[in-house]
Chain A
Amino acid sequence: MKPIWQSILLLSVLAILALFALGLHNDPREIPSPLVNRPAPDFATKALDGQPIRLSDHRGKWVLVNFWGSWCVSCVAEHPYLMELARSTRARSDFLIIGVDFKDTEQGAAHFLARHGNPGYRHAFDPNQKIAIDWGVYGAPESYLVDPNGVIRLKHTGPLYPGWFEKMALPLLQSTPSAQKEATP
């Protein structure tokens, strides 16, 4: 074998191995949303409590929009943290949580909240997945952090985990909200 081929062969093997070594840290579940740093699609619909709910009514506050459904197994795992997060942030004037219950029935949702506990915040009811499709939701649970200007700043796929708020959301809350120019698509 000619030396040039030797080097090419060994270098390509090394390159592929290096790629795998670096790639091990990728999380295959993480799918970046093209909506991050874009204005959140507004929704105005009926909430689970029967009253209307509109996202843009909450401009000026950070809103955690959490997509869930009573059919979703991981949502059960996530639920205790949401209960805890709702309790610990209730006093904050700059932050609130809105659930979006999608692809679900009202009975199913009521049963879920009765069984696993009601965290106390409001839920938009989205049986035909209209909101979920607007937001490009792949599965449940999925959470979006919307800043006071109505711009999505963060997306989390899968259950939120204890400490998520302090680690991921607080730094953003303490920084300046998005400049208005970013809010134009």
Chain B
Amino acid sequence: MWIELGHFAAILAFLLTLTQTSTTLFGIYRAQPVWIRVAKQANMATLLLLTLSGATLINAFLQHDFSVRYVASHSSLELPIFYLATALWGGHEGSLLLWAWLLSLFNTIAIWRHWSTHSRSIPWVMAILGALLAGFLILILFLSSPFERLIPAPGNGRDLNPMLQDPGMVFHPPFLYMGYVGFSIPYAFAMAALITGQASDEWILATRRWSLFAWLTLTIGIVFGAYWAYYVLGWGGYWAWDPVENASFMPWLTATAFLHSVMVQERRGMFKTWNLFLIITTFALSLLGTFLVRSGVLSSVHAFASDPGRGVYILLFMSILLLFSFGMLALRAELLRNPIQLESLLSKESAFLFNNLLLVVAALTVLLGTLYPLAVETLSSAKVSVGAPYYNKVFIPIMLGILLLMGIAPMIHWRRAILSRLKQDLPIPILLALLALLLAPLFAITHPYGIATATLMFFVLGSHLLDLFRGVQARRAAAQKETPPRTLPPWSALQQLLTRNKRRYGGLLVHLGIITMCAGFIGSGLFQQELDLTLSPGDSVQLGNWTVTLDSIGPAAKYNWTAVEATFRAQQGQTTVVLKTQKRTYSKHSQPITEAAIHTTWREDLYIVLGDLAKENTWNFRIYRNPLVVWLWWGTGLMVLGVTFAMLQGRRPS
């Protein structure tokens, strides 16, 4: 009964989204705000109804109501409770519902926050978001309903895909979706600006926090996915350039470009059309990321729901959205023309321009690599796959260029760099970079990309620390000039500096997060060591500084799985750690799942995967030494801190 209530609520929500769009359009057409207020109420009701809808599904999971097809195919009596609640997004239908719910939630928050401050844009924002949500609800209700009954109800469900029975599952999809959906708000504001042809800066200011928030959650979502892949897939890596990984990475790249180029529009009134292009592209790529998984167009480990009927609808939906958005951009961008030209190649805005070009080219190379197999297959029916070699060749040089710009940017000013200042400052980061260049061979970094990355990392580090130092200097000098003159201790100067310009220093902290991650890329990318071997209990093997001994191998069981568990003892000097790796078989599935054993230190990860039985009492193992992997997670932590700090700053006083 409950599930029918949920279904009914979703249908009602669908009708209300249509209402939201049509009444706002009518209100705009007749210039009668009362209709727009109707839409506002409709939007609120939609959120409540969709919340109810999701709640009935979660309830069905918790109650083991296997008469609901979605519950029967994505859970079982044995599924632990924390996966039961999150099995909602363990499949196609439920994850779409999560998407729709998030969209509805963000829609409501956007209306609540911008209702009175952006009264000209908000009706259009509501109309666009309403239409978007309606599009999603059509897909949910008519083509992939999670509310379908299964009669007769089976006694037990088919269980959640064992790959998904992992804490990563609890966090990775919601964060990724928050990122994807988050971009819908800046997108809607941008479209509103295009449609009204007015308020060409308003949308940028209105959506600054939204963009930062979406970028933040998308970053977290991507890294959660990488971390999850790292410890559950058991191949020792965290990123495989799989089409769906790429799909989440492309909007990240264009959004990163966007976050930088909006600053140019705010400060200098330039790049207006470009910013619109970037946010539309970012949102379109977010949708592509959502849909790529669903339509069966691309094959990938993530493609868990391919269905041509859905594919056709999704294609139609994407076509309308892309043609409408880019068509509007092409037709109306003329209105946003601005006469301001770049004054100097050596200025912050031109640095941002090059940063944008590189990021967009990076996104294009990823798009090309993702679509190329599809194109080849469609045109010649051969199968090709584009993998790491392509991306390493094309992508890394672009990223090195971005690192270089990242180092230069803090040292140059808006409009025109002050050359004397630059001459004074530039030697310090260059010196640090040279030091890194000379020291790199001592750390056995011989690969040209490794050396270049290390050199640029120190260049960036140098320029950022110098920037901070100069800032503190300037603050103290300013305090000296006050009447009466004050002597500001460096720490309070630093504190003032940071709190007065949270946005700038939050951004610079994100850069430090990126170079921390670069250290991880060098370590894990160039210095991974791998042993492929068979071991019996008692056998020892040497890897790096570790002596790894297989202590025992035996059965283990918990919740709904049984496993073969190998226990290792790894020794390095005085330290001894115990590592357990498992090969799990879930009660309802034949496919075994590996659980890698990972011991993490700041220097390296020791990573052990249990393979197949080779012969009596002897097993195959793969042991990796993955240097500096933890720096990736730390780097992400710094990025999260940086963006959060930047979000604390309200609107720049004009």
Residues of A at under 8 Å CB distance from B? 1, 5-6, 9-10, 13, 16-17, 19-26, 28-29, 31-32, 71-73
Contact = CB atoms under 8 A, between A and B. Distances in A.
B333 A1 contact: yes
23 contacts: A1-B273, A5-B330, A9-B326, A9-B330, A10-B323, A10-B327, A16-B322, A17-B318, A17-B319, A17-B322, A19-B374, A20-B295, A20-B318, A23-B298, A23-B374, A24-B297, A24-B311, A26-B297, A26-B378, A28-B306, A32-B381, A72-B590, A73-B590
B329 interface: yes
B382 interface: yes
A26 B377 contact: yes
Nearest to A29: B299
B375 interface: yes
B21 to A, nearest CB: 23
Nearest to B314: A20
Interface string B315-337: 10011001100110110011000
B383 interface: yes
A141 to B, nearest CB: 14
A6 B330 contact: yes
A1 B378 contact: no
Given A28-B296, A31-B383, A23 B378 contact: yes
A21 B322 contact: no
B205 to A, nearest CB: 23
A123 B524 CA distance: 46
A19 B300 CA distance: 17
Nearest to B337: A1
Q: What are the 5 closest A-B residue pairs judged by CB atoms, nearest first?
A: A28-B299, A6-B330, A1-B333, A22-B378, A24-B311
B311 A1 contact: no
B312 interface: yes
Nearest to A7: B330
B441 interface: no
Interface in B492-538: none
B295 A24 contact: yes
B189 to A, nearest CB: 20
Contacts of A29: 299
Given A28-B296, A28-B303, A19 B375 contact: yes
A1 B315 contact: no
Contacts of B326: 9-10, 13
B322 A1 contact: no
A132 to B, nearest CB: 14
Contacts of A32: 381-383
B308 interface: yes
Contacts of A25: 308
Nearest to B284: A13
> Which size bracket describes the interface of B in this complex?
20 to 34
B323 A13 contact: yes
A28 B330 contact: no
B233 interface: no
A73 B158 CA distance: 13
Contacts of B296: 24, 28
Interface of B: 273, 277, 295-300, 303, 306, 308, 311-312, 315, 318-319, 322-323, 326-327, 329-330, 333-334, 371, 374-375, 377-378, 381-383, 590
Nearest to A3: B330
> In this complex, which of B300, B322, B382 has the most chain A Cβ atoms within 10 angstroms of its Cβ?
B322
Contacts of A21: 315
Nearest to B297: A23
Contacts of A23: 297-298, 374, 377-378
Given A20-B318, A24-B295, A32-B382, 5 more contacts: A1-B329, A1-B330, A9-B277, A16-B322, A25-B308
Contact of A16 (B295, B311, B327, B371): B371
B308 A24 contact: yes
Contacts of B299: 28-29
B590 A24 contact: no
Contact of A24 (B312, B319, B371, B382): B312
Contacts of A71: 590
Contacts of A22: 378
A114 to B, nearest CB: 19
B322 A13 contact: yes
A16 B295 CA distance: 15
A5 to B, nearest CB: 8
A19 B371 contact: yes
A20 B299 CA distance: 13
> In this complex, which of B308, B334, B378 has the most chain A Cβ atoms within 10 angstroms of its Cβ?
B378
Contacts of B377: 23, 26
B334 A1 contact: yes
A26 B329 CA distance: 32
A37 B6 CA distance: 54
B590 to A, nearest CB: 5
B303 to A, nearest CB: 6
Contacts of B303: 28
A5 B333 CA distance: 11
B330 A26 contact: no
A85 to B, nearest CB: 25
Contacts of B334: 1
Nearest to B299: A28
A17 to B, nearest CB: 5
A6 B330 CA distance: 5
B26 to A, nearest CB: 30
A153 to B, nearest CB: 17
A9 B329 CA distance: 10
B543 to A, nearest CB: 28
A100 B150 CA distance: 36
Contacts of A6: 330
B378 to A, nearest CB: 5
B321 to A, nearest CB: 10
Nearest to B364: A12
Nearest to A69: B590
A115 B382 CA distance: 40
Contacts of A72: 590
B322 to A, nearest CB: 5
B305 to A, nearest CB: 11
A31 B299 CA distance: 11
A16 B306 CA distance: 19
Nearest to A70: B590
A31 B383 CA distance: 7
Nearest to B300: A28
